Chain A
Amino acid sequence: MSIRISNEPFDKRVEKGINDEFMRSAVSGAQDRLEGRKSDSTAELGTWEDWRDHAEEIRQHTLDNLDFYLQQFAENAAAQGGHVFFAETKEEANEYIQSVIKKKEAKKVVKAKSMVTEEIGMNEAIRELDCEVIESDLGEWILQLDDHDPPSHIVVPALHKNKDQIRETFHKKRGYSQSSDPQELGRFAREQLRKEFLSADVGITGCNFAVAESGSVSLVTNEGNARMVTALPKTQISVMGMERIVPTWEELDVLVSMLCRSAVGQKLTSYITGLTPSEADDEHAPEEFHIVIVDNGRSKILGTKYQSALQCIRCAACINVCPVYRHVGGHSYGSIYPGPIGAVLTPLLEGYENNKELPFASSLCAACTDACPVKIPLHELLLEHRRDIVEHEGGGFSEKMAMQGFAYAASHPKLFEFGSRSASPIVDRFSEKESGPGPVKLWTKIRTLPSQKDDRFRDWFAERERRKNDGENS
């Protein structure tokens, strides 16, 4: 997978999303639950706004001194035997990972959940080597078994699937014969994956936060798969986005606390694991520890008006409050990073060409900005994107988007009020059109179209493969 998960045009993706009734009810249920849990867990602290200010200050200081902290991190990791590879592009990252796998003559890789490895298309690169790569996060494993269905949420990747669909996938691919009770499905996954952990040659993880002062990588999980991946195979590779770093363990505390509460409303998830390369042979640490630090377009965001987007800690709090995500679902964004942060980040990493609709898939209600634990001004960045797009494309583009209905705000009086107050010239233009063949009409029209349930993304993988064979970027 790369950042892009679909080759279809934006309106087609949205149309599918809006007609997928199970997905839409799953998404709204999940949003309500996750958001409710987050609100409870942040309210009980009583000082949430102070926590946000602190977290923002940490992220800003770290980004402003990113070269210093990355150097400190790399030197500390290497001093204890870790190997650090700085990768400017996804190709460089994948080549290095391939070289480690080849050297180890590995036939099986187990992987913990990691967005950055999705972003660089690492799994496909590993498969080129005739080496199996197995996702071990339950949600990711479900998607992998189902012919590589793309994720639709960054914390709950298989959110768009119901338990009967999951049962069917387990049955077809692994001969599962029990019920669709989630406990039974979970137990089956446990048995199946236990064997994989024990027989894998290499374990690959992402990195929630690297710690500069000690050269450590931290992983935040509930299932325990990241622990399996790093405790059992003899070789470990951790892949990190270059901005995912803190100065010391003291800042790690703050950001991990913010991440757990914002993502799932837990004080801490079941497992927070800090792993540091070690030359001393204490207990069974991996014999080799490789860390791949990925730029892949991030550095060009530094020093621009979009720099704050790199403060993101991937908690999905913005996704869980977004009214647009609620209606169209994760796949509509066409990116592994959906929701408000996805609409900001995807065009920055991938360029506007295939992503220029995304900043318009927002009501500018600012719920995302209020939810963000590290205070990224998400709706303001979306407005910046719109301005930049209009500058490139001319006013016609924004008008087209307006007519297509992404002036979602207009159909929701409260949101609309906010949008027009925020003085975006584009939103203002919507208001003039409100009485005409306005945005709401298209939404209504889309909703009454025949259901396309069977279609979902079954062609997605085949299409992706075809594209790759045609020599396009995957």
Chain B
Amino acid sequence: MGKIHNKETFLSNIAGNLGRERRTEGVERPVWKKQPQQEVFAGASPVELQEILIKQCETIHTSVDTTTAADLPETLHQVLQQFGASSAVYWQDERFHSFSLEPVLDSLPESMAWSDNDREEMTAFAERAKVGITFSDITLAESGTVVLFSAPGKGRAVSLLPEVHIALIPRSTIVARMTQAAEVIHQMREEQGKVPSCVNFISGPSNSADIEMRLLVGVHGPVSAHYIIIEDA
């Protein structure tokens, strides 16, 4: 349990300025008059959403492959070669096992599944690994975004420190936009009483326009991003 400082005076002052008594309970969100976010790509089929996603990836400087569950190990192998990857860090996540990806990763000169136990060592490895590999928990077609929920074994640094981020995307995770992901997280809060400590919405590689408004790809995070869509998963 954390500490809260100065709450009463601070909030009473707000209520006073609003010209009323403190509200400590009973406030409900109104039924919003308009909700245009619900209409975006409403009724699009999974195949259509995949097309929207792939098209958006052009805009966000992200390369994409499509494959099947059976071919995924071979596809991943090729993508790793394409990036000249001799080292990779990936999540400790049962999906790497269920898609039979461990042999591909073990065949690299250096690879390591994230472990929560040794933070310093894992961070140092992630920092020098060429590639970080994650699975998308929810994928947003509109913005080309992979949504990653933190959990034991799913280190934040895997999608952040290596030069290349490869995200594996089961087609069943693709939704229209952030709206559907927000609903899932809201439901988590309602049903489980909490949300993951870190939810990352990642759309392509890192970039900046801070120097003369020119696009720089790859500032602090990955310089390249690559998505592999698994069409039958």
Residues of A bordering B, CB below 8 Å: 26, 29-30, 33, 45, 47, 50-51, 53-54, 57-58, 61, 64-71, 74-75, 77-88, 92, 96, 136-139, 142, 156-159, 162-163, 166, 182-183, 185-187, 189-190, 193-194, 197-198, 213-214, 216, 222-225, 227-228, 230-232, 242, 247-254, 256-257, 264, 266-278, 280-285, 289, 293, 295, 299-300, 302-303
Contacts and interface: CB of A to CB of B under 8 A. Distances in A.
A365 B155 CA distance: 50
A18 B138 CA distance: 49
Given A96-B5, A273-B200, A283-B116, 13 more contacts: A50-B34, A64-B18, A65-B23, A82-B2, A83-B2, A87-B6, A138-B211, A222-B206, A227-B200, A256-B178, A268-B203, A274-B198, A274-B200
A223 B219 contact: yes
A83 to B, nearest CB: 4
B123 A232 contact: yes
B179 interface: yes
Given A225-B219, A274-B198, A66 B18 contact: yes
B95 interface: no
Contacts of B231: none
A81 B6 CA distance: 17
B208 A138 contact: yes
B202 to A, nearest CB: 6
A50 B152 CA distance: 40
B182 A252 contact: yes
B122 to A, nearest CB: 8
Nearest to A140: B210
B97 interface: no
Given A67-B14, A270-B60, A283-B150, A276 B194 contact: yes
B32 A253 contact: no
Q: Which 3 A-B pairs have the closest CB atoms?
A: A224-B221, A278-B197, A139-B210
B65 to A, nearest CB: 20
Contacts, number: 309
Contact of A61 (B1, B29, B219): B29
Contacts of A157: 210
B9 interface: yes
B189 A77 contact: no
A129 to B, nearest CB: 20
Given A257-B178, A276-B197, A68 B24 contact: yes
